[in-house]
Amino acid sequence: MTNSSASGDSRLALSAGIGCYLIWGFVPLVFQTIGHMGVGPWEILCHRVLWSLPTAGLLVALAGQGRHLVEALRAPRVFAWLALSSLLIATNWVIYIGAVNTGHVLEASLGYYITPLVNMAAGALLFRERIDRLGYASMALAAVGVAIQAVAMGGLPVISLVLAFSFGGYGIVRKRVAADAQTGFFVECLVVGLPALAYVVWLQRSGAGHFGHGAAVSAWLVAAGPITAIPLVLFAWAARRIPLSAMGFLQFLSPTIGFFIGLAEGEAFTPLRALSFVFIWGGAAVFLWGAWRRARSVRIAVAEATPAE
């Protein structure tokens, strides 16, 4: 591969990474729009799952991964792991949808600032990954930020912690399971798809469902599927092609967008809450600095080990 083509691939992968996090950043506005039409979090979640299925199936077909899908469905261990990951991501989704529709966008953004630090701690505890001093410093700063947020709110930031640990747990499970991104996501949608379909059918028959009650609400509910599937695929594609340090930086785009959405919508932002975010941002900055240093060390080591032509 020539340098120019490699550079082009890197730019395309970076664009894909930015694209996925921009979509995730503005997703609260989509769910708020659907919520303002009277649709509750559970109904939004179920439609999100159901309309993700055809999108995920199309992506599996385009990638030619039909054989991998059959193998995943036939392997009890793989299927069990994916069933667990589907429950974790469904929990994350419904809590997030409920949060952004009840004036807790800031608390939701806090959860996704914490997630990378939860992943770091999990890596050390479960995968025996080494944490350096910068890693411990970033987690300590985040812990102080969460403690201050608890004082500011008069209790633990439950939404933030559930979002961080459910998404962190999802990442841990997907790290263990032998299934690629598209296949795994399709199986996850299948697992939660049956109860989601049952709930939607029950709602529609009882007259409480919103699908079909107007073109606008129906279109938004259908759009929730591609809006869910597309950024996940962009993320999986980009993560394999650009440095982890770059992905580490990009992952803070979406909660930052969410943070400013919460501010723009007038959510309470007291000086104490502001101080908690200062510590969280400090932890994120130290995390990014450590990731950049590690990536730089690897590049230097590789350069020194490569013989000159």
> Whose CA is closest to 259, among 274, 272, 271, 248?
274
Across 31-40, 94-103, 179-188, 269-278, least confident range: 179-188
Question: Which residue's entry shows tokens 């979640």?
Answer: 45
Across 2-11, 117-126, 131-140, 147-156, least confident range: 2-11
Q: Is the pLDDT of residue 221 over 70?
A: yes
Across 25-39, 223-237, 256-270, least confident range: 223-237
Average pLDDT of the residues in 148-158: 83
Give percent of the chain above pLDDT 70: 89
Could you count the other beta carbons within 10 Å of the beta carbon of residue 299?
A: 12
Q: Is the pLDDT of residue 240 over 70?
A: no
Question: Taking all residues of the chain, what is their mean pLDDT, rounded to a whole number?
Answer: 84
Q: Mind listing the pLDDT tens digit for each residue in 98-115?
A: 999 999 998 998 888 888
CB 257 within 8 A of CB 25: yes
CB 274 within 8 A of CB 43: no
Q: Is the pLDDT of residue 168 over 60?
A: yes
Domain boundaries, the chain: 3-305
pLDDT at 62: 85
Average pLDDT of the residues in 76-81: 91
Q: Mind listing the pLDDT tens digit for each residue in 140-152?
A: 888 888 888 888 8
Torsions phi, psi of 241, nearest 5?
A: -125, -10
Q: Residue 263 corresponds to which tokens in the numbers above?
A: 């501010």
pLDDT at 308: 54
> Whose CA is closest to 81, among 161, 1, 163, 173?
173
pLDDT at 177: 82
List Cα–Cα distances, 297 to 91, 135, 191, 301, 305, in angstroms.
38, 16, 42, 6, 12
pLDDT at 252: 80
Torsions phi, psi of 268, nearest 5?
A: -60, 125
Question: What distance lies between CA 148 and its chain's CA centroid?
Answer: 25
pLDDT at 143: 84
Element (H, E) at 201: helix 181-206
Question: What distance lies between CA 113 and its chain's CA centroid?
Answer: 11
Give residue 47's pLDDT band: very low, low, confident or very high (50, 70, 90): very high
C-alpha–C-alpha distance, residues 67 and 59, integer Å? 14
Q: Residue 198 corresponds to which tokens in the numbers above?
A: 């049952």
C-alpha–C-alpha distance, residues 223 and 241, integer Å? 28
CB-based contacts of 4-12 (< 8 A; 24+ apart in sequence): 9/241, 10/241, 10/242
CB 203 within 8 A of CB 43: yes
Across 26-35, 236-245, 271-280, least confident range: 236-245
C-alpha–C-alpha distance, residues 261 and 239, integer Å? 26
pLDDT at 239: 67
CB 157 within 8 A of CB 146: yes
pLDDT at 289: 83
pLDDT at 93: 93
Q: Is 128 exposed, middle or buried (0-12, 13-18, 19+ CB in 10 A)?
A: exposed
C-alpha–C-alpha distance, residues 90 and 268, integer Å? 28
> Whose CA is closest to 98, among 166, 154, 190, 171?
166
pLDDT at 3: 52
Could you count the other beta carbons within 10 Å of the beta carbon of residue 237?
A: 17
Average pLDDT of the residues in 209-235: 89
pLDDT at 307: 61
